[in-house]
C-alpha cells in the first residue's frame, strides 16, 4: 500500500509555491558583485603565479631543457680554461705551497682565507666583471625564453586583450 496521495502532494506543492511567491524579493547587497569579481581576479592572478614549469607544454619544456643543456658545455669549457689559468697563476705567484702545507684545521681555515685573498687580488677585474656579465646574460636569456614560450602557449583572456 502506498501512503502517498498524488492529489495531496499537488495541493501541498501549489500551497508552497503560493506562499513563496508572497514573500518579498531577496536582494543581494550592492557590494556583493564587486567583492565576487575582485575574488575571481585574485584567484586568477594567484593561479597565474602558481604556474610552474611542470604545467608548461611538453615542447616548451623540451626547448628550455635543450637550452640549459647547451649551456653546460660552455660552462665546462670556461671552467677548464679558468682552472688552467688559475693553476698557472698559483704556480707563478707561490701560493701553491699554501694549499700543500696545511697541517691543522685552524691552519687550514687561515690558509684558505689567505688563498682567497690572494686569488681575489690576482684575478683581473675585467675577468670578474666579464664572468658576472656572461652568467647574468645567460640567465636573462633563459628566463626570457621561458617567459616567451609560456606566454605564447597560454590562452589570453578578454580582460587582458582589451
Low-confidence residues in the chain, pLDDT < 70: 1-3, 48-51, 90, 93-108, 154-162
Q: 4 CB contacts (<8 Å, ≥6 apart)?
A: none
Euclidean distance between CA atoms 71 and 110, whole angstroms = 35
Euclidean distance between CA atoms 103 and 97, whole angstroms = 12
Please give the pLDDT value at position 108. Answer: 67
Helix H or strand E encompassing 80? helix 58-93
* Tens digits of residue pLDDT in 35-46: 888 889 888 877
What are all long-range contacts of 26-29, with beta carbons under 8 Å and residues at least 24 apart? none
List the grid coordinates of 106: 685552524
Euclidean distance between CA atoms 102 and 40, whole angstroms = 64
DSSP single-letter state for residue 144: H
Q: 86 CB contacts (<8 Å, ≥6 apart)?
A: 119
Amino acid at each position: 500500500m502506498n501512503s502517498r496521495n498524488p492529489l495531496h502532494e499537488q495541493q501541498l506543492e501549489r500551497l508552497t509555491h503560493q506562499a513563496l511567491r508572497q514573500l518579498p524579493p531577496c536582494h543581494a547587497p550592492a557590494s556583493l558583485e564587486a567583492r565576487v569579481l575582485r575574488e575571481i581576479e585574485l584567484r586568477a592572478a594567484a593561479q597565474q603565479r602558481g604556474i610552474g614549469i611542470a604545467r608548461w607544454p611538453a615542447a616548451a619544456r623540451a626547448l628550455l631543457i635543450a637550452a640549459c643543456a647547451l649551456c653546460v658545455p660552455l660552462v665546462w669549457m670556461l671552467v677548464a680554461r679558468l682552472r688552467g689559468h688559475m693553476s698557472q697563476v698559483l704556480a707563478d705567484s707561490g701560493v701553491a705551497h699554501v694549499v700543500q702545507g696545511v697541517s691543522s684545521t685552524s691552519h687550514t681555515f687561515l690558509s684558505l682565507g689567505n688563498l682567497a685573498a690572494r686569488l681575489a687580488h690576482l684575478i683581473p677585474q675585467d675577468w670578474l666583471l666579464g664572468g658576472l656579465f656572461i652568467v647574468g646574460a645567460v640567465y636573462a636569456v633563459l628566463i626570457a625564453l621561458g617567459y616567451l614560450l609560456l606566454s605564447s602557449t597560454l590562452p589570453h583572456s578578454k580582460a587582458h586583450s582589451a
